[in-house]
Amino acid sequence: MRAKIKHAVYATTTAAALTFGSLAISPGTATASEVRPQACDVFTFYTVNPYGKTKFKSRGPVVGKYNSSASSSWLNMSVKTTKSRSTTWVGEAGGSLDWGIVKIEAKTSYEVSKKVSSGVTVTNRMRVDAKKRGFTQPGVLYRKFEIEKHRQNGNCSTTSLKSWYMNGIVAKLHFAECQTKRPSCKPKP
């Protein structure tokens, strides 16, 4: 009789252990419908993308000088600027120019000038071949930028909210140059 009771106790203990074990394991397994999506903080952020090539815009007239020597020489050509140039929004404005410039400079390696004035004398030191005329023209280089506002959503996806475009002055003094044996040529940046 003792053997039967002992066997019944072992059987009950084993069954209880297996049942308890299966209960301990089952909360850890979840079906696909019970998996919750990952949660992210919701916030807005900006990206800046430069695109296209830089564009030259003149700041003054073309000036030239003749190299009469028998070898190439460095010639200094001075010119007074006659045009001012500014960084501008393209299409719909995105706020103040300062706001856009700060975004560009924070997100890219470019430095953007807000404005360059006219009435300034600038000098280009240009190497001109023997018996040729060298011509130069002062200007600025513009680069186009897209400033885009995004939102990170609670499900970790992102949504593009709005875009602005800015023509930024990335070089406030750049010289276009050419040289020729003819009376003139068109300077190229």
Q: Is 30 helix (H, G, I), strand (E, B) or coil?
A: coil
In terms of phi and psi (left: phi > 0; alpha: psi -120 to 50; beta: otherwise), the region of 156 is: left
Average pLDDT for 83-89: 97
**Range with the lowest mean pLDDT among 31-45, 56-70, 75-89, 165-179?**
31-45
Query: Residue 91: its pLDDT value, please?
Result: 82
Q: Confidence band (pLDDT; 50, 70, 90) for 30?
A: low
For 20-29, what is the mean pLDDT? Answer: 50
Q: What are the tens digits of pLDDT across the range 127-184?
A: 999 999 999 999 999 999 999 999 999 999 999 999 999 999 999 999 999 999 999 9
Cα distances from 162 to residues 45, 92, 144, in angstroms, run 11, 11, 17
> How confident is residue 23, by pLDDT bands cut at 50, 70 and 90?
very low
Q: How confident is the model at residue 27 (pLDDT cuts 50, 70, 90)?
A: low
pLDDT at position 9: 47
User: Residue 34: is its pLDDT beyond 80?
Assistant: no
> ∠ CA(14), CA(18), CA(20), 5° rounding?
115
The CA-based diameter of the chain, rounded to the nearest angstrom, is 130
pLDDT for 25: 47
Q: What is the pTM of this model?
A: 0.75
Query: Band of the pLDDT at 92, cuts 50, 70, 90?
Result: confident
The encoded tokens of residue 61 equal 């007239």
20-36 average pLDDT score: 52
The residue with greater pLDDT, 95 or 86, is: 86
pLDDT for position 35: 57
